[in-house]
Amino acid sequence: MGKRHRSKFLRGPHINPTAVSGTETAADLIDNAFLAYNGGRLREAARLFADRMLDESVTVGMSLTGAMTPAGLGMSCLIPLMEAGFVDWIVSTGANLYHDAHFALGLALHRGSPFVDDIALRKQNVVRIYDILFDYSVLLRTDYFLRQVSARPEFQRAMTTAEYHYLIGGYLRERERALGLTGRSVLGAAHACGVPIYTSSPGDSSIGMNVAAQALDGSLLRFDVSGDVNETAAVVFDAKCRGKSGVLMIGGGSPKNFILQTEPQIQEVLGIDEKGHDYFLQITDARPDTGGLSGATPGEAVSWGKVDPDQLSQSVVCYLDSTVGLPLLTAYALARRQRRTLKRLYERRAEMNAALVVAYQRARAARDQRALAAEGTE
């Protein structure tokens, strides 16, 4: 009988973990015991992030959805990631940034139970985010702070959401110091680290609601959404000119699309020759089969030009709760990787925008020719 050839499908490492002792670090536990199913995907994600995405040549963007900051993940994970140079720019829901401000203002959010009488909560002026409870005055005091700051002269103009968040972050950082607090605010830390933070739907949060209210009083503050679209594209274009672009997506929603659409903006709309993001890492509980963007796979993103097809193997999707996945991913990266030099992209926005304009002007004629040629293909 001839020699039997081993199947190529059986070449992976044997499943042979050591017994959990209780003395392991989180990173050691992930490497040793997270071997299959979504544990296996989290291990792959952690290694992709630490081993490849955190190379000095990679610019890392993060999208953030779900009520992460009310749950304390801003303080426990996002601030350490920014300060270590592991996240270079962010697209977040406005709600996460609004709730982030509570902590810098010294306002209290409490752990509670999701199994409470919401009518009773309303009568007692208590607000609930699943199992997080806080007094209604937290909202009112945060609203007042935002209105007072946004009424200042430096805010009386059109600006990108990155500019607005940078300015607000500076005031939140001052308030932290005045209260004797440190490491409380994502916006404050982003201000200090030069990490630009964008909001894909600036009107869809209490920040946007307060800005809208001030418009009724004659405020000149306006969010420049076109500026956000072009500026985020400029960040990615700069990343690809200098090295690689990686995206870490916590949840899905509008921020996920906004961080990924930078590549179609560069390629399809501006006509610049590019191939897509190099690394795609997502933690989500959204299914792909419903057709929603939140659950759309990296393979689907390739078809849109959002992800480089040659780099599709450098993609991982973890189907688990972000409040579980993000702390573990953060712990792994901080344990396995040295701090990176801060890229301070906020301070380079004008330079990056100018480079994008030059590339666009060179590509515009060819882009229009391709569009005209496409008219006869249907």
Residue 378 has pLDDT above 60, yes or no: no
Top CATH class of 36-104+144-377 equals alpha beta
| Buried-exposed string 28-66: b where 16+ CB fall within 10 A, e elsewhere | ebbbbebeeebbebbbbbbbbbbebbbeeebbbbbbbbb
Checking if the pLDDT of 3 tops 70, the result is no
Of 174-183, 192-201, 293-302, the one with minimum mean pLDDT is 293-302
- Extents of the domains making up the chain: 36-104+144-377
| Confidence label for 5 from pLDDT (cuts 50, 70 and 90) | confident
- Amino acid 292: pLDDT: 86
pLDDT in tens, 223-241: 999 999 999 999 999 999 9
306 is annotated as an active-site residue: yes
Structure-block tokens of residue 342 = 């801060």
pLDDT at 376: 64
Amino acid occupying residue 172: L
CB 270 within 8 A of CB 234: no
Q: What is the pLDDT of residues 86-132, one digit of tens each?
A: 999 999 999 999 999 999 999 999 999 999 999 999 999 999 999 99
pTM above the 0.85 mark? yes
